[in-house]
């Protein structure tokens, strides 16, 4: 693609239009749309202006349909404006920017209509998403699934202060380990963050760091006007002055304008000779235009920089920009939340020949022939393949997932056994599973799967220990066919990797079924990335194990308390905590189907799956899993012991505390014959089912529909007490009392852990059979229940 003058002129005109439309969108939301209460836009106008030119260069010229982009969150109006020019965004949604059902404040895959590739919002995550998406593309290609589709470049538009986010550095290191390709990060180097002007010389740190990780670095600092001025007599001195000018001063002068620049330049480098003449030849406006002509704001410079890349190595572009460029707030250190006044907007509108009432007209005020602009937009390479959301057919899930049974097992062990069986078989499901783990592959029981299916790497790499005949239970053979991606310890990387793998059907048109493992407490370490992955509707299964105080001797640093509540609260994630391995097999089967189901409203839609597992080996129940039980396990609960007609106490448990619950019921049963034992496999699904049933009944009066938990508890009288018990925060199950108005004693863990045996800790935290019996006693009348041994102190 040439950079001839006519083309550049067209692109520059479109970039100006993008700046106008994005600013007008923000202005409209603040000053024109009625009832903007609470919707005041902060942090958009100046940030957007900074990127308008760079994004125009990319979208109108450089990008190809296969390329994918993560847009800096606050440049969302720029993205929407570009899509509006393409005809993919409606005026209605722009007029309603940040309003109910309007264009989103931050680009959203799930909520916006204009083909957002990757959601952004929490800074740093979209950036890393592009890196992992590139690795996923490599995975798809290595497995022979790219067919004839060309490789896309994964591109992030990054704020310079966004680079402070640690997850970006974690991703960089991982990318280096995995021989990253096809990734461009374009840093909007406006030297401003939200609060402040950034440190001097930051670019040099960026440059050294990126080069250190094997990236190319392209610094786009001067626009063509500047370059031409530098070639004039005295230009060298001007260039030196620009290079030496502190960030704060440059920003302040950009805000103050041409006259201020003139004064400073004359005072600092005026020589009554060529330098002074260079400055004097320009009016104030021309001088400001020159000094604002940093590389990022110069169409020709950006196009040149992008088009010069003729390889697939990762590239970091550091493009110099001015925050708020072209707007009255440009360069001001407080401009992050800055808005233009009505008067300022009026002036700017008139200066651009935009007639009142024609602010939304796509080509209003541009000198170019509208037909030519239209033809130009229609021919933009990025747009040639139509809509960008791809789809992939569902992978069939067998009716049952098998495993080798044993009398005593933990759910973690069961997880390994189920995957081992899948690995042994040759189902399509197994071929589409990709496992990944942040250095806890073996300790989360993925070893057997990895032994059979191998590790993924673009190049073969044999297990040297094996070649040297050193005995080991694990074979670590890397190959392009491998199905396990071994990550470094960073949990943020795990979740962003799952996010990238879990969007493969939509990005690559090839479905992957990612399964990630980590220790349950470290979910909190990657929580924002987990939330991010769910927000953009990536589909994955995460097995978090070990969990809770069943990890007894490890102590408080490794025991999780809050994760069951995360499981309930996290949207897009169905959370399970089975006790027995036959339940886990049912849940995983359901999970692989759920991961492929279309997203939809409430309970019907698909999503991701969280399995909270344990290393505690417990006696397994021997039973056939019939269709009813199968259904109940996935709905979240079943009666392990049905309550009798005179039931006055129910024990409801989740997960690894099953033996204590069963034991307690045995003792309570001696004096209360009708006691019920409720096995809860998913507090999350039960709760979600209950709230959506209530909503349905409210919304459609007369509908009799009861949720699963309401049906299960229906036979209980109001006087029946419920003791809930979980190796996690008691609030996870405490709500059960509200379903039908039963009194509840909720047992669980609320304080940081101790080291000890499981028995010690269950006694200490009150999760043992005696504690359950005590709680039951407090809820019932009648004779005390016999305790099986004296409570230890």
Ligand X SMILES: Cc1ncc(C[n+]2csc(CCOP(=O)(O)OP(=O)(O)O)c2C)c(N)n1
Stretch that binds ligand X, among 187-195, 305-313, 481-489, 636-644 (CB under 6 A): 187-195
* Binding flag, residue 44, ligand X (CB under 6 A): no
Stretch that binds ligand X, among 42-50, 429-437, 510-518, 743-751 (CB under 6 A): 42-50
Decide whether 47 or 133 has the Cβ nearer to ligand X. 47
Residues 578, 680 contacting (CB under 8 angstroms)? no
* Sequence-separated (6 or more) residues with CB below 8 Å from residue 521: 547, 557, 558, 559, 560, 563
- Min separation Cβ 216 and ligand X, Å: 22
Residues 665, 617 contacting (CB under 8 angstroms)? no
Decide whether 192 or 732 has the Cβ nearer to Mg ion. 192
Decide whether 123 or 723 has the Cβ nearer to ligand X. 123
The three state secondary structure string of 324-385 is CCCCCCCCCCCHHHCCCCHHHHHHHHHHCCCCCCCCCCCCCCCCCCHHHHHHHHHCCHHHCC
Residue 774: phi and psi, rounded to 5, are -60, -45
Number of residues this chain uses to bind ligand X (CB under 6 A): 18
Decide whether 261 or 532 has the Cβ nearer to ligand X. 532
Residues 655, 614 contacting (CB under 8 angstroms)? yes
Residue from 67, 160, 491, 632 in contact with Mg ion (CB under 5 A): 160
Give the three-state DSSP class for 194: coil
Decide whether 146 or 194 has the Cβ nearer to ligand X. 194
- Min separation Cβ 395 and ligand X, Å: 34
Stretch that binds Mg ion, among 98-106, 151-159, 212-220, 507-515 (CB under 5 A): 151-159
Stretch that binds Mg ion, among 23-31, 137-145, 161-169, 631-639 (CB under 5 A): 161-169
* Binding flag, residue 159, Mg ion (CB under 5 A): yes
Q: Which does 25 bind (CB under 5 to 8 A by kind): ligand X, Mg ion, none?
A: none
Stretch that binds ligand X, among 13-21, 154-162, 487-495, 691-699 (CB under 6 A): 154-162
- Min separation Cβ 284 and ligand X, Å: 26
Decide whether 193 or 742 has the Cβ nearer to Mg ion. 193
Decide whether 169 or 176 has the Cβ nearer to Mg ion. 169
Q: Which does 432 bind (CB under 5 to 8 A by kind): Mg ion, ligand X, none?
A: none
Q: Among residue numbers 114 through 133, which ones bind ligand X (CB under 6 A)?
A: 122-123
Q: Which does 398 bind (CB under 5 to 8 A by kind): ligand X, Mg ion, none?
A: none
Decide whether 325 or 562 has the Cβ nearer to Mg ion. 325
* Binding flag, residue 73, ligand X (CB under 6 A): yes
Stretch that binds ligand X, among 192-200, 270-278, 302-310, 594-602 (CB under 6 A): 192-200
Residue from 192, 293, 411, 413 in contact with ligand X (CB under 6 A): 192
The sign one gets for the Cα dihedral 765, 771, 774, 775 is positive
- Min separation Cβ 323 and Mg ion, Å: 6
Structure token pair of residue 423:
């690995």
The residue number with the shortest CB distance to ligand X is 159
User: What is the C-alpha separation between 181 and 459, in angstroms, rounded?
Assistant: 14
Q: Among residue numbers 405 through 444, which ones bind Mg ion (CB under 5 A)?
A: none
H helix or E strand, kind and range, residue 99: none
User: What is the C-alpha separation between 302 and 321, in angstroms, rounded?
Assistant: 11
Stretch that binds Mg ion, among 19-27, 159-167, 245-253, 476-484 (CB under 5 A): 159-167
Q: Which does 74 bind (CB under 5 to 8 A by kind): Mg ion, ligand X, none?
A: ligand X
* Binding flag, residue 193, ligand X (CB under 6 A): yes
* Binding flag, residue 196, ligand X (CB under 6 A): no
Decide whether 255 or 363 has the Cβ nearer to Mg ion. 255
Decide whether 142 or 196 has the Cβ nearer to Mg ion. 196
* Binding flag, residue 504, Mg ion (CB under 5 A): no
Residue 202: phi and psi, rounded to 5, are -60, -35
Residue from 192, 547, 620, 681 in contact with Mg ion (CB under 5 A): 192
* Binding flag, residue 50, ligand X (CB under 6 A): yes
Residues 432, 514 contacting (CB under 8 angstroms)? no
* Sequence-separated (6 or more) residues with CB below 8 Å from residue 471: none
Q: Among residue numbers 496 through 515, which ones bind ligand X (CB under 6 A)?
A: none
Q: Measured between alpha carbons, how far is residue 573 from residues 497, 534, 535, 564, 609 in Å?
A: 16, 7, 10, 12, 5
Give the three-state DSSP class for 668: helix
- Min separation Cβ 605 and Mg ion, Å: 37
Stretch that binds Mg ion, among 130-138, 152-160, 165-173, 236-244 (CB under 5 A): 152-160
Decide whether 315 or 322 has the Cβ nearer to ligand X. 322
Number of residues this chain uses to bind Mg ion (CB under 5 A): 5
Decide whether 192 or 445 has the Cβ nearer to Mg ion. 192
Phi-psi sector, 107: left (phi>0), alpha (psi -120 to 50), beta: beta
* Sequence-separated (6 or more) residues with CB below 8 Å from residue 346: none
- Min separation Cβ 158 and ligand X, Å: 7
Decide whether 68 or 323 has the Cβ nearer to ligand X. 323
DSSP state of 558: T
Site string for ligand X, 319-358 (x = CB under 6 A): ----x------------x----------------------
Residue from 113, 146, 173, 194 in contact with ligand X (CB under 6 A): 194
Q: Which does 43 bind (CB under 5 to 8 A by kind): ligand X, Mg ion, none?
A: ligand X
* Sequence-separated (6 or more) residues with CB below 8 Å from residue 550: 614, 615, 616, 656, 727, 758
Stretch that binds Mg ion, among 134-142, 183-191, 218-226, 703-711 (CB under 5 A): 183-191
Label the pairing between strands 637-641 and 433-438: unpaired
Stretch that binds ligand X, among 60-68, 159-167, 230-238, 517-525 (CB under 6 A): 159-167
Q: Which residue has the tokens 């397994």?
A: 620
Decide whether 47 or 83 has the Cβ nearer to ligand X. 47
Structure token pair of residue 560:
């999780």
* Sequence-separated (6 or more) residues with CB below 8 Å from residue 309: 184, 216, 218, 315
Residues 135, 171 contacting (CB under 8 angstroms)? no
What is the strand order of the sheet 68-70 is part of? 68-70, 154-159, 183-189, 315-320, 216-220
* Binding flag, residue 526, ligand X (CB under 6 A): no
User: What is the C-alpha separation between 595 and 538, in angstroms, rounded?
Assistant: 9
Residues 466, 497 contacting (CB under 8 angstroms)? no
Stretch that binds ligand X, among 155-163, 235-243, 431-439, 773-781 (CB under 6 A): 155-163
**Smallest Cα–Cα separation from 520: which of 435, 443, 420?**
443
User: What is the C-alpha separation between 744 and 723, in angstroms, rounded?
Assistant: 6
Residue from 190, 575, 620, 770 in contact with Mg ion (CB under 5 A): 190
Structure token pair of residue 588:
């995983």
User: What is the C-alpha separation between 421 and 414, in angstroms, rounded?
Assistant: 11
User: What is the C-alpha separation between 30 and 40, in angstroms, rounded?
Assistant: 6
H helix or E strand, kind and range, residue 215: none
Residues 168, 72 contacting (CB under 8 angstroms)? no
How many helices (H) and strands (E) in the chain? Answer: 33, 20
Decide whether 72 or 349 has the Cβ nearer to ligand X. 72
Site string for ligand X, 413-452 (x = CB under 6 A): ----------------------------------------
Binding site for Mg ion (CB under 5 A): 159-161, 190, 192
Binding site for ligand X (CB under 6 A): 43, 47, 50, 73-74, 122-123, 159-162, 188, 190, 192-194, 323, 336
């Amino acid at each position: 693609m040439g950079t001839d003058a006519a083309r550049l002129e067209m692109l520059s005109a479109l970039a100006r239009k993008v700046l106008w439309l994005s600013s007008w969108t923000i202005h409209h939301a603040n000053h024109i749309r009625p009832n903007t209460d609470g919707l005041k836009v902060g942090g958009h106008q100046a940030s957007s202006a900074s990127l308008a030119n760079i994004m125009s260069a990319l979208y109108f010229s450089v990008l190809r349909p296969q390329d994918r982009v993560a847009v800096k969150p606050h440049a969302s109006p720029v993205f929407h404006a570009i899509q509006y020019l393409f005809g993919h965004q409606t005026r209605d949604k722009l007029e309603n920017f940040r309003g109910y059902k309007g264009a989103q404040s931050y680009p959203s895959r799930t909520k916006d209509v204009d083909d957002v590739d990757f959601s952004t919002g929490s800074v740093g995550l979209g950036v890393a998403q592009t890196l992992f998406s590139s690795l996923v593309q490599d995975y798809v290609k290595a497995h022979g699934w790219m067919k004839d589709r060309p490789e896309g470049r994964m591109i992030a538009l990054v704020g310079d202060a966004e680079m402070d986010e640690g997850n970006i550095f974690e991703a960089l290191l991982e990318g280096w380990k995995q021989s990253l390709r096809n990734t461009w990060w374009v840093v909007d180097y406006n030297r401003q963050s939200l609060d402040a002007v950034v440190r001097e010389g930051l670019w040099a740190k960026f440059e050294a760091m990126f080069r250190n990780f094997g990236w190319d670095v392209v610094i786009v600092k001067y626009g063509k006007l500047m370059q031409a001025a530098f070639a004039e007599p005295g230009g060298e001195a001007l260039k030196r002055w620009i290079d030496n000018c502190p960030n704060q001063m440059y920003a302040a002068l950009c805000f103050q304008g041409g006259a201020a620049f003139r004064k400073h330049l004359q005072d600092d480098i005026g020589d009554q000779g060529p330098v002074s003449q260079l400055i004097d030849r320009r009016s104030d406006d021309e001088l400001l235009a020159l000094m604002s002509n940093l590389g990022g704001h110069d169409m020709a410079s950006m196009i040149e920089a992008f088009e010069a890349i003729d390889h697939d190595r990762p590239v970091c572009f550091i493009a110099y920009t001015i925050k708020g460029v072209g707007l009255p707030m440009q360069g001001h250190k407080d401009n992050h939340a800055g808005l233009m006044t009505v008067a300022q907007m009026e002036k700017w509108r008139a200066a651009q020949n935009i007639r009142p009432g024609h602010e939304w007209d796509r080509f209003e005020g541009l000198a170019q022939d509208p037909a030519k602009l239209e033809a130009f937009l229609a021919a933009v390479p990025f747009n040639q393949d139509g809509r960008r959301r791809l789809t992939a057919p569902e992978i069939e899930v067998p009716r049952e997932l098998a495993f080798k049974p044993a009398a005593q097992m933990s759910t973690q062990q069961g997880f390994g056994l189920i995957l081992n069986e899948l690995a042994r078989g040759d189902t399509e499901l197994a071929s589409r599973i990709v496992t990944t783990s942040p250095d806890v592959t073996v300790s989360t029981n993925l070893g057997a799967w990895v032994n059979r299916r191998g590790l993924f790497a673009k190049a073969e790499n044999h297990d040297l220990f094996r070649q040297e005949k050193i005995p080991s239970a694990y074979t670590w053979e890397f190959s392009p066919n491998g199905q396990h991606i071994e990550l470094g310890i960073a949990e943020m990387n795990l979740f962003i990797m799952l996010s990238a793998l879990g969007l493969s059907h939509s990005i690559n048109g090839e479905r992957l079924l990612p399964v990630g493992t980590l220790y349950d407490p470290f979910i909190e370490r990657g929580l924002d990335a987990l939330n991010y992955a769910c927000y953009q509707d990536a589909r994955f299964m995460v097995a978090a194990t070990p969990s809770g105080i069943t990890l007894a001797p490890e102590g408080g640093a490794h025991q999780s308390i809050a994760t069951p509540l995360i499981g309930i609260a996290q949207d897009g994630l169905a959370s399970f905590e089975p006790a027995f391995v036959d339940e886990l097999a049912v849940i995983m089967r359901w999970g692989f189907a759920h991961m492929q189901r279309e997203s939809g409203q409430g309970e019907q839609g698909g999503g991701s799956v969280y399995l909270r597992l344990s290393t505690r080996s417990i006696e397994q129940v021997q039973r056939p899993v019939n269709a009813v039980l199968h259904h109940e396990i996935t709905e979240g609960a079943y009666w392990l012991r049905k309550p009798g007609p005179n039931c006055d106490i129910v024990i409801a448990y989740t997960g690894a505390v099953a033996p204590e619950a069963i034991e307690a019921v045995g003792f309570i049963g001696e004096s209360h014959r009708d006691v019920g034992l409720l096995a809860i496999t998913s507090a999350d699904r039960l709760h979600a089912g209950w709230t959506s049933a209530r909503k349905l009944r409210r919304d459609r009066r007369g509908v009799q529909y009861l949720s699963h938990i309401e049906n299960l508890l229906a036979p209980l009288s109001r006087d029946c007490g419920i003791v809930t018990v979980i190796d996690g925060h008691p609030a996870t199950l405490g709500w059960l009392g509200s379903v039908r108005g039963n009194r509840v004693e909720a047992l669980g863990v609320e304080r940081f852990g101790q080291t000890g045996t499981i028995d010690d800790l269950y006694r200490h935290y009150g999760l043992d059979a005696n504690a359950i019996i005590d709680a039951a006693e407090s809820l019932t009348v009648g004779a005390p229940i016999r305790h099986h041994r004296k409570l230890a102190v």
